[in-house]
């Protein structure tokens, strides 16, 4: 039996959960909503795909999925001073004192299992790209 999909052909299909699966030059691209990425990360946890799962879950958190934000906060635990300083360096347009205040408050929310509040605080004072970078830096 021959392969019905030739290697040079493109493949694209949409699934019921909002996912899009397609091929692009020898690479498989899976597009999904943040909540679905979080669910997938937990569904296949412990299967040896730790780095991919952690990345999916953190990406879902960065995109604002509430469940992923809560998980990220739980996993972050106490935020080390080195991560706080690195995150503070990412905040433009704020004084040094404002940077420390924002980052320490966000780190405190992470320590209280309230990642969604930490993300909301960062997004209130940062442009979207800096919000994501600062949040990921705090998570380590």
**Contacts of residue 6, Cβ cutoff 8 Å, sequence gap at least 6:** none
Rounded to whole angstroms, the Cα distance separating 59 from 53 reads: 10
Position 100 pLDDT exceeds 60:
yes
Query: What pLDDT is stored for residue 5 in this prediction?
Result: 46
Q: 3-class SS at 6? A: coil
Query: What pLDDT is stored for residue 11 in this prediction?
Result: 73
Considering only CA atoms, which of 51, 108, 52 is closest in space to residue 76? Answer: 108
Q: What number is the average pLDDT over the span 109-113?
A: 77
> At 122, is the pLDDT very low, low, confident or very high (cuts 50, 70, 90)?
very high
- What are the sequence ranges of the domains in the chain? 40-139
pTM of the full structure: 0.50
């Amino acid at each position: 039996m021959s392969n019905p999909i030739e290697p040079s052909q493109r493949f694209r299909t949409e699934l019921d959960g909002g996912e899009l699966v397609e091929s692009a030059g020898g690479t498989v691209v899976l597009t999904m909503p943040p909540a679905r990425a979080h669910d997938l990360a937990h569904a296949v946890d412990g299967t040896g795909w730790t780095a991919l799962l952690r990345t999916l879950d953190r990406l879902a958190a960065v995109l604002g999925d509430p469940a992923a934000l809560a998980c990220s906060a739980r996993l972050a635990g106490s935020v080390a001073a080195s991560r706080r300083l690195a995150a503070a360096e990412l905040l433009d347009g704020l004084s040094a004192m404002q940077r420390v205040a924002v980052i320490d408050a966000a780190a405190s929310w992470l320590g209280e299992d309230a990642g969604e509040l930490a993300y909301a605080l960062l997004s209130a004072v940062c442009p979207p790209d800096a919000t994501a970078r600062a949040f990921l830096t705090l998570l380590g």
